[in-house]
Amino acid sequence: MARTQNPFNLETFLSKADKGTTILTSPKKHILFSQGDTTDAVFYIQSGKVKITVVSEQGKEAVIAILEQGAFLGESCLVGQTVRTATATTLEGSRILRIEKAVMLAMLQKQPRFATAFMSYLLTHSIRVQEDLVDQLFNSSEKRLARALLLLTHFGKESKPETIIAKISQETLAEMVGTTRSRVSFFMNKFRKLGFIDYKGGLHRNGGLHVHSSLLNVVLHD
């Protein structure tokens, strides 16, 4: 009788890795790496949130991703990229596993189940990047904001909307959506009046932000 393998748990596998890995306990606003740095490691988020930003030659900054528990970052070094093209900053206290490039490559070569799990992550991430590009090209800033809020609350993955744990400022939302803070403020007030969101105490206080499933109507509306 063929032996049945236990389901592969990526978190458990990485937690047992020791050689060439370092656990970083990073406070809020800690920079893991900066745009222009030499690439020498891959990072895995065990807990917390990390903001990925890029700055143009003219000094304009944009948020290209908010990554959470279970996400990798800095993986482009595995395909020969020698310089970081973005900056990674923690949005809250986070626990990050730093994996040296050579160690990561060795694990991918010697651990087929890990390689499969990593490939699955990369494919899922690639699909998300394509969806983000389509969103930026074809949707209005109002729709982009609604979609960003739904993604931050893991809409569709839970039975009910979550509270956004990390306090996401309107400035950060504006950078994610590609619009101004004043436009974000206008749409947030509109969403609240329509009952799509609720942030008792305000975004910058402890009340938290609740996103209701009815906000999907904004994304789907033609």
Range 139-220 classified under CATH 1.10.10.10: yes
Q: What does residue 164 show for φ and ψ, rounded to 5 degrees?
A: -70, 110
Which distant-in-sequence residues (6+ apart) come within 8 Å of 66 by Cβ?
A: 49, 50, 51, 52, 91, 152, 168, 176
Q: Class of 10-135 per CATH? A: mainly beta
Model pLDDT, residue 145:
94
How do the pLDDT tens digits run along the chain, 222 residues long?
455 678 889 989 998 887 899 999 999 999 999 999 999 999 999 999 999 999 998 988 899 999 999 999 999 999 989 999 999 999 999 999 999 999 999 999 999 999 999 999 999 999 999 999 899 889 999 999 999 998 888 776 655 555 554 567 889 899 899 899 999 999 999 999 998 988 765 544 445 778 888 888 888 775
Model pLDDT, residue 17:
83
Model pLDDT, residue 204:
46
Dump the DSSP string for 138-194: HS-HHHHHHHHHHHHTTTTTSSSPPB--S---HHHHHHHHTS-HHHHHHHHHHHHHT
The CA distance from 144 to 147, in Å, is 5
Task: Tell me the domain boundaries of the chain.
Answer: 10-135, 139-220
